[in-house]
Amino acid sequence: MTKTTYKKLIISMSFIMIGSLLTACGEDLFAGGASLGGSGYPTKPGKPGDYETPADGNKGDSKDNEIWLPAPSEDDCNGLHRKLEFLNNVTREPIEKETVFKYAQQLTLNGTLALQITQTNMGLEKIQERQPACHVPLELYLLGNTKRSYPENDCKETQIYEYQSGETKTFIVNYPAFEVMNGTWKYGLESTYLKNNQELKQCEPLTIQFKISAPPDPIKIN
């Protein structure tokens, strides 16, 4: 495995809140620079950054990369049903079962893939989630690395979202598919859940894996 630094890695962020519309304080609420809104789609491109990441091979043409995506990952966290799943960025439909896409262009939009986290309060009491104010608490760890690749910086400020009984909130992260990588997304490491202003037991992070591979070399006939 070799290391490569890919410049101007763009991660765009968006946020859906059911039943209400929020506005961001400035333009840098999320790492990708997208402001909060009700549509769930990025409002503008992310900001460039430099990331040191391991790679499984040579960088391939993004539209020809092969992408492996698993079925959704789900759990229950203090009465919140959490679901982490990939989206086909062309159709905006969830990837419901383990699938290998032979060509990245089948599910990417502007070279990006989409990952969605949905949380629903299944109980009768309000649940609060305290999370970073700078980014969605989704972290990317690449194979062989103990240090997260995204987000690059820590966030000292926090914000609280409330989940009324039966309420659902959805976060969507768009990330580039132009680099070969083998990694795991983890949700909740930076989240704290509360009920009646009392902190609840910390849940294990909800995780989901993926792999982006360069296309195989063409067969040479002598």
In a domain? residue 83: yes
Quote the number of domains for the chain: 1
At 199 the pLDDT is 95
In a domain? residue 219: no
In a domain? residue 192: yes
pLDDT in tens, 120-154: 999 999 999 999 998 888 999 998 888 998 888 88
* pLDDT higher at 104 or 163: 163
pLDDT in tens, 63-79: 678 889 999 999 999 99
Q: What is the mean pLDDT of residues 21-45?
A: 27
At 131 the pLDDT is 92
In a domain? residue 146: yes
Confidence of residue 210 (pLDDT cuts 50, 70, 90): very high
The total of other beta-carbon atoms located within 10 Å of residue 13's CB is 25
In a domain? residue 127: yes
Is residue 175 within 8 Å of 139, Cβ to Cβ? no
In a domain? residue 222: no
Phi, psi (rounded to 5 degrees) for 195: -140, 125
- C-alpha closest to that of 12 among 32, 35, 41, 38: 32
In a domain? residue 218: no
Domain that includes residue 166, residue range: 2-213
pLDDT at 117 over 60: yes
In the chain, % of residues over pLDDT 70: 67
In a domain? residue 48: yes
Distances (CA, A) of 8 to 33, 50, 158, 178, 184: 14, 6, 26, 12, 21
At 17 the pLDDT is 40
* pLDDT higher at 214 or 146: 146
pLDDT at 12 over 70: no
In the chain, % of residues over pLDDT 90: 41
At 50 the pLDDT is 25
Q: What is the mean pLDDT of residues 39-46?
A: 28
At 101 the pLDDT is 85
**Cα-based angle 95, 10, 40 (whole degrees, multiple of 5):** 50
* pLDDT higher at 213 or 31: 213
- C-alpha closest to that of 194 among 158, 153, 150, 154: 158
At 160 the pLDDT is 93
